[in-house]
Amino acid sequence: MHCPFCRHADSRVIDSRTSDDGLSIRRRRQCPQCGGRFSTIETASLNVIKRSGVIEPFSREKVMSGARKACQGRPVTEADLAVLAQAVEEAVRQTGSSQIDTNEIGLAILGPLRELDEVAYLRFASVYQAFDSLEDFEASIAQLRADHRAGHRVDAD
Ligand SMILES: [Zn+2]
């Protein structure tokens, strides 16, 4: 990595720190030529293959904006969306592959979104899983109800 001050071709690492979420490493570097200090952030590359075939880097911001649309008018905060995007990134990184398609991201969003808000979940699922009839909604709602009943039985007594 070139020094951003004098363009010297080499730099020395003087400090390394892993981010709180464990997904990136921040390195403090010093240029041996001019003494300038700068930081680099290292993350494992994770790319998304879009439906059009275009490949672009994974972006938490895009996950948040996708989920945000489904959450319109719902009691969901930006902080909730940030936590959701982090959970999605951790889930897709855990698959161990460096390239995933947008559909896998959609599926990874469904779980945490359901925890956050069931109405937003249904909206999102209807788009991502291409619901094309009322039966699709009914099946999803029936599943949510069944899970509720299972949950209630646990805290009943
Ligand atoms: Zn330099």
Distance 5 CA to ligand 1 centre (A): 5
121, 114 contact by CB (below 8 A): yes
The single-letter DSSP state of residue 41 is: E
Distance 39 CA to ligand 1 centre (A): 13
- List pLDDT tens digits, range 93-112: 888 888 999 889 999 999 99
- pLDDT (tens, 9 = 90+) of the chain, 157 residues, equals 789 999 999 999 999 999 887 778 999 999 999 999 999 998 888 999 998 999 999 999 999 999 999 999 999 999 999 999 999 999 998 888 889 998 899 999 999 999 999 999 999 999 888 888 899 999 999 999 999 888 755 444 4
Distance 9 CA to ligand 1 centre (A): 8
Distance 45 CA to ligand 1 centre (A): 27
- The structure tokens 């290292």 sit at 42
Distance 24 CA to ligand 1 centre (A): 24
Distance CA 37, CA 22 (A): 24
Q: With 0.85 as the threshold, say if the pTM is over it.
A: no
Distance 64 CA to ligand 1 centre (A): 38
31, 8 contact by CB (below 8 A): yes
Distance 18 CA to ligand 1 centre (A): 25
Helix (H, G, I), strand (E, B) or coil at 113: helix
Distance CA 39, CA 60 (A): 21
